[in-house]
């Protein structure tokens, strides 16, 4: 019983240390190396990237995203069909 009590006290103390001493992630609080006026906004370079950006910005719904990705996959399958090599020892028909 004494061991369980000591284990509880030690664990509770370890869990409360970050709150007591106000520990934080210094890297997250560090100012950025690039000035605000020198930053440039990156643009997606692919159709999939554009769709993800629209999904994250709530410009399209998840259903619209899934339908658009299905259309992209179907178009890609028509343009570049997957050629599966024959298995070893198989005879050509």
88/9 Cα distance (integer angstroms): 65
Taking the C-alpha atoms of residue 55 and residue 68, their distance in angstroms, rounded to an integer, is: 11
User: Domain range spanning residue 60?
Assistant: 47-81
Q: Helices (H), strands (E): how many in the chain?
A: 4, 0
- Quote the pTM value: 0.48
* 51 located within any domain: yes
Q: What's the structural domain count of the chain?
A: 1
pLDDT recorded at residue 65: 95
- Asked, for residue 14, whether it belongs to a domain, the answer is no
pLDDT tens profile 7-54: 988 888 888 777 666 555 555 566 666 666 666 677 778 899 999 999
């Amino acid at each position: 019983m004494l061991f369980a009590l000591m284990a509880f006290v030690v664990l509770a103390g370890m869990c409360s240390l970050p709150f007591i001493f106000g520990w934080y992630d210094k890297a997250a609080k560090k100012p950025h190396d690039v000035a605000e006026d020198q930053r440039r906004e990156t643009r997606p370079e692919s159709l999939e990237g554009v769709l993800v950006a629209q999904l994250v910005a709530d410009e399209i719904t998840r259903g619209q995203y899934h339908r658009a990705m299905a259309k992209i996959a179907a178009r890609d399958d028509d343009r570049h069909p997957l050629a599966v090599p024959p298995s070893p020892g198989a005879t050509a028909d």
